[in-house]
Amino acid sequence: MVLRGDWQALYDQVKAFRKACGDAHIKTILGTGELATQTNIAKASLVCMMAGADFIKTSTGKEKVNANLVTSLTMIRMIRWFAEETSIEIGYKPAGGIATAGDALKYMALMKEELGTRYLQPHLFRFGASSLLTDIERQLEHGLTGHYAADYRQPMV
């Protein structure tokens, strides 16, 4: 729909999902790596928020192109604009390609700088990065023992 510029169809589809979900939270996965331009990503983000999404997410984490800082900045700025216009806070979830605590800190800094500390709370910001858990565990062990854990000690590896 995005690549065809069929914004009404996208809106109608997300609106129908919103209605079907009732009071449950709805997260829209945009598949940003396939959307071709930052303009498409911005418009898709806005349309999904207007249709009732509670969270917007970059991707499933399984595509060739997943979360990146440029796309995240585009989506986060649309969240900020939407909040300023409507007073509705929408959550953000970057997914895929965030494998280290250092990567996570970059996204957290971006959120804090663009939206403020409030947006670092789990009801507004989450990671879609299963491999991140392993690195956090390794970092914690390093902090406690001064050594990184061997791979066999990390169940997610």
Domain ranges of the chain: 7-129
The arithmetic mean of pLDDT across residues 11-27, rounded, is 96
Q: CATH 3.20.20.70: does it fit domain 7-129? A: yes
pLDDT value, residue 82: 98
Q: What is the pLDDT of residues 58-99, one digit of tens each?
A: 987 777 778 899 999 999 999 999 999 999 999 999 988 888
The reported pTM is 0.86
Give the integer Cα–Cα distance in Å for 139 and 133.
10
SS3 string, the chain, reads CCCCCCHHHHHHHHHHHHHHHCCCCCEEECCHHHCCCHHHHHHHHHHHHHCCCCEEECCCCCCCCCCCHHHHHHHHHHHHHHHHHHCCCCEEECECCCCCHHHHHHHHHHHHHHHCHHHHCCCCECCECHHHHHHHHHHHHHHHHCCCCCHHHCCCC
